[in-house]
Amino acid sequence: MAAVSSSFHFCSSARRAPINSISLKLAQLASSFTQPLLRALQRGPARIDMAGVIKKTSGRLLDAFVDFAFHFEDQPWLPSQSNFMPVDEIEEAVIISNIEGEIPHDFPEGVYIRNGSNPLFGALQSGSSVLGLCSETWVEGEGMLHALSFSRATPAAVSVGSGGAWTLSYKNRFVESKTFQLERSRNHPAFLPLIEGDAPAVLASFLLNKLRFGKMAKDLSNTNVLEFSGKVFAVAENHMPLEIDLLSLETIGDWDLSGAWDRPFMAHPKQNMSLMILPQKAPGGELVFVGADGKKPFLVLGVVSVDGKELKHKVDLKLERGIVCHDIGVTERYNIILDMPLTFDIVRLMKGGPLLKYEKESYARIGVMPRYGDSDSIKWFDVEPYCTLHLVNCYEDGDEVVVRGGRSRGSIIPGPDLGRNKCQWFSSGFKLKLAGEDCDGNPNEGLLNFRLHEWRLNMKNGSVRNRYLTGSDLSIEFYMCNDLFVALPKYGGLMKLYLDEKDSTTMQENDNGGSVKVERHPLGANEFCSGAAFVSKLGGVQEDDGWIISFVHNEHTNTSQVHIIDAKNFKDDPVAKIILPKRVPYGFHGAFIPMPNRL
């Protein structure tokens, strides 16, 4: 099952500090250096902690220098981006009784929880200076969790409200990383942006962030929610997972596996489901993941024990470049590594180029690695350059390892160089190509659309067979499956893919056998969703025994709902629409997690 994407727009701008403010800032700069030292001297020589004074003074000096040299400015929101705008935390969970339809009687108790970007200070930030512009990208912004809890009501509650036999409550909360706490305590932006912008400004941001805070970038746990071994984590690409209390949404702390993992994690780790006892989820499988970095070792793979307490395997994959690795695959015996040319390159930045870039002329590979192998055990398959952020599934078929995922000709991250002209660039890149239509010579048209693609990697002779499984008239992303069968755009609907059935009515171009059968669940007029989740039916055994659940927003009425869709009757109207008391911005990924006492 997957989501149909639609075009979206994003623009950014920044201005430099006015000249008439320079004298005031120079005075503030001098004051920040001298005042701590004068206060220390007034206390007397015997009471001076010079190391502490120097540290505090240097910190104030660096802060004042940043305030003097850089001007922070909110990136503007366009009218079409109204539901990307952040919301405030709510203090207490809100009970919900406004429901259209009925929640199925065999729906499990649990929490539907989704992560997403929610900029702390109202908007993404740009910073301008004499060195140029540095900007946050559309995937940045502090993480916020939105959670809808389902519990069976007591007999007294059944007679009250339209929730029937259910009690529902909604809550949201920021993911409180250490850097989030730091900026909130200052009540203004502190970390300089560094993913895109003019190279001198980005290099200065790296250095100043490191000197001031001991790290080069903010920890943004804004991408996904992971449940593993009875615990819940907010995860993203740029740092370690943060454990979350499922009911209160409070942030508990870093999950570093007792110090065994000391680098970034990833958004889409995978459980080795071959260790699982079906159809129940217990006892679960080992967790396989990678951590990417902009310096060597560029990519390290880890395997965590079933109980979540031990890092059983850790290996440097010895890549020769820094890459974005948003997703990996697992089969019964193998780990699947995507080495695509979406790269981080400090040397390129120092030469005046962008830090993050999709290098369409560079090489691309897919690696197949035994579960506990080392870098020498990886069998690499050279393929045409691709951008794949999300996999659907991977499995073994005789001598072949089959990898299925979304493939596009370009990358939506970070966008055009230097963060300018995003509006037209995104709109053109997301334009669908209909039957018989050409692109009028515009190489960017349709560049960002994802089509479902299949690579068949022959482990015996090293050959690769590949084909598109969907036509260019569809753009499909944010895939999800029933977990028991697994080996900031907005979306106008959901789709169910029948990967073993052909649809003769769809486009055949370059598909080597035709497209797969697709079933659509369009949303209403002016309604859009983001990442959805699959909810397994109690006692279900078939792959589509369950429901699709997703936050949906109506841009005309500015109201948000949660839709529950029967996966076996996918084209039908939702079995339930739950009207939420607050607006829920579009976000990224989430999960439905059974109540802790039901795990």
* Residue list, annotated binding site: 268, 326, 390, 589
DSSP 433: P
The strands making up 231-235's β-sheet, listed across from edge to edge, are 224-228, 231-235, 242-244, 251-254
Say if CB 267 and CB 235 are below 8 A apart. yes
Report the distance separating Cα 347 and Cα 156, nearest Å: 66
Beta bridge partners of 196: 135
Neighbour-count burial of 49, counting CB atoms closer than 10 A to its CB (0-12 exposed, 13-18 middle, 19+ buried): exposed
Nearest to 204 by CA among 355, 22, 359: 355
**Pairwise CA distance, residues 205 & 508, whole Å:** 48
Separation between Cα atoms, residue 472 and residue 454, nearest integer Å = 15
Strand stretches in 293-352, DSSP E: 299-304, 311-316, 322-323, 329-330, 334-339, 342-344
DSSP secondary structure code for residue 209 in this structure: H
Query: What single-letter DSSP state applies at residue 129?
Result: E
Q: How far is CA 419 from CA 10, 129, 226, 318, in A?
A: 10, 15, 31, 31
The CB density around residue 475, as the number of other CB atoms within 10 Å, is 25
Instruction: Report the half-sphere exposure of 42 (CA within 13 A, side-chain side).
Output: 6
What is residue 404's three-state secondary structure?
Answer: strand
> Which of 556, 474, 588, 471 shows the shortest CA–CA distance to 520?
474
Residues at the annotated binding site for Fe cation? 268, 326, 390, 589
Q: How far is 466 from 459, CA to CA, in rounded Å?
A: 15
92: which DSSP letter?
S
Two structure tokens written together for 312: 């059983």
Sign of the Cα torsion 270, 275, 278, 284 reads: negative
Phi-psi region at 151: left, alpha or beta (left = phi > 0; alpha = psi -120 to 50): beta
Give backbone dihedrals phi and psi of 594, rounded to 5 degrees, phi first: -55, 150
Length of the chain (residues): 599
Count each helix (H run) and each strand (E run) in the chain, helices first. 7, 38
Give yes or no for a contact between 585 and 564, defined as CB atoms under 8 angstroms apart: no
Enumerate the β-bridge partners of residue 496.
519
3 state SS of 422: helix
Structure tokens at 303: 């395997």
d(CA 170, CA 98): 12
- Which has the closest alpha carbon to 578: 103, 47, 15, 94? 103
Cα R_g (the chain), whole angstroms: 25
